[in-house]
Amino acid sequence: SIKDRAKHVMLVDLARNYVNRVCHPSTVKVDRLMRIDRFSHVQHLTSEVSGLLRPECTRWDTVRSIFPAGTVSGAPKIRAVELIYDLEQEKRETYAGAAGWFAYDVVRDEDAGNGVALDEGQMDTCIAIRTILVKDDVAYLQADGGIVFDSKKTEEWMETTNKLAADLRCIEVAEQYYRDVRARKGKPVQEIIEEERRRKGDKFYRLQTMSAGA
């Protein structure tokens, strides 16, 4: 839609600004613009921004510059984050943060005879969305809708629930697999279900879903 394209262009511009803070300005470029990626329950417009890191900057500088990403905070970022803090009733916790891996290059200190880790390794991170947190047998799901001036609440709500659909399906498949395994041991499925409800309570089947919008 026109709204989605306009919002995406704004976010690409934000990403360029974030990357520009830590990279040589002449190397910052948009490698891919508004490609449609299709998934099981949603479609996304995706773009890619890259740049050559300045020698005085580290990978940690890139994390500080980029996160929280504009796609989950809004713009202007500082004011948007203030509004999120004031308006959202649930803490985001790990949701919309940075998840990934960080590697270290290790060299040998010939004088000390020990390996010394240097902050020169590779890293790869992503935004922690479409994730499930399981604690005390309760699955916590979070999703968001990007609110702009001409947003319609019914459409934003539909977008949010669609984003949750894949995670919900994963849980359904996992539960069915668990029941099937137990059933193969000679117990009827219904008996397994009632047994688990008695043992763990109804919360074992109750998904606590939370939606957060920026």
User: Over its length of 214 residues, how does the chain's per-residue pLDDT go in tens digits?
Assistant: 777 788 888 889 999 999 999 999 999 999 999 899 887 777 888 999 999 999 999 888 998 998 888 888 888 888 988 998 898 888 888 888 888 888 876 665 555 555 555 556 688 888 888 888 888 878 888 888 777 777 888 888 888 888 888 888 888 888 887 777 677 677 776 776 677 677 766 554 444 333 333 3
The reply to whether 56 falls in a domain is yes
Q: Catalytic residue among 145, 146, 160, 213, which?
A: 146
Residue 46 lies in a domain: yes
Residue 78 domain-assigned (yes or no): no
Sign of CA pseudo-dihedral 195, 196, 198, 202 = negative
Catalytic residue among 130, 145, 160, 213: 130
**Does residue 62 have an active-site annotation?**
no
Out of 71, 145, 160, 213, the active site residue is: 71
| Angle CA 130–133–135, to nearest 5 | 165
Catalytic residue among 24, 44, 64, 197: 44
Active-site annotation holds for 95: yes
pLDDT value at residue 69 = 87
How many Cβ atoms from other residues are within 10 Å of residue 59's Cβ?
Answer: 17
Q: Is 146 a catalytic residue?
A: yes
Number of domains in the chain: 1
Q: Is residue 21 part of a domain?
A: yes
Q: Is 85 a catalytic residue?
A: no
Instruction: Give the number of other CB atoms < 10 A from CB of residue 49.
Output: 21
Q: Say if 39 falls within a structural domain.
A: yes
Domain that residue 59 falls in: 1-66
pTM for the complete prediction? Answer: 0.65
List 95, 145, 160, 213, catalytic entry? 95
**pLDDT at residue 117, rounded to an integer:** 54
> CA-CA distances (angstroms) from residue 18 to 12, 13, 49, 76, 119?
10, 9, 10, 12, 21
User: For residues 137 and 156, is the Cβ–Cβ distance under 8 A?
Assistant: no
Q: What is the pLDDT of residue 149?
A: 77
- The answer to whether 44 is a known catalytic residue is yes
Whether 36 is covered by a domain: the verdict is: yes
The reported pLDDT for the residue numbered 208 is 36
**Is 15 within the bounds of a domain?**
yes
Beta bridge partners of 133: 140
Whether 105 maps to a domain, the answer reads no
